A = this chain, B = another copy of it.
């Protein structure tokens, strides 16, 4: 059985969720990946209360997921650009999109967002392979091992 201290202190899923484990936060990241950068654009796109949006943007800047960059001098105005760390959340958003498409698109003629290869427009497929034996892996082939000596 996992111990509370283990989970709270060392699990990097839990640490990651301290930053992004809240609905609005990942939607802000999703919009950032779609090219949204300005406060008013996030506000219009998400319909999020302004004070909540301010708090979430500040949190994401503090955790180096977004960079706050001036785009206008007088009066000074800022936009929010994903950092490399923030762009690193793309696989999380993509995995959520795939799960959402599978389970929450029955009422839609087709899933509303396609993730494609920018070069040729082909659909992007997620694959898992074994580093050791190079086999393609299904979910049932995959297990998690806790490193207790670490």
Q: Interface range on chain A: under 10, 10 to 19, 20 to 34, or 35 or more?
A: 35 or more
**Copies of the protein in its oligomer:** 2
Report whether B125 and A46 are in contact in the complex, using a CB–CB cutoff of 8 Å: no
Report whether A46 and B4 are in contact in the complex, using a CB–CB cutoff of 8 Å: yes
The interface of chain A, by Cβ under 8 A from chain B, is 1-4, 6-8, 10-18, 20-23, 26-27, 30-31, 33-34, 36, 41, 44-47, 85, 87-105, 108-133, 135, 137, 139, 141-147, 150
A-B residue pairs in contact (CB < 8 Å), sample of 28: A1-B41, A1-B44, A2-B44, A4-B45, A7-B46, A8-B47, A12-B108, A14-B27, A16-B96, A16-B97, A16-B100, A16-B104, A17-B23, A21-B27, A88-B103, A91-B95, A91-B99, A92-B92, A108-B150, A110-B150, A113-B144, A114-B144, A116-B142, A116-B144, A116-B145, A117-B132, A123-B132, A124-B129
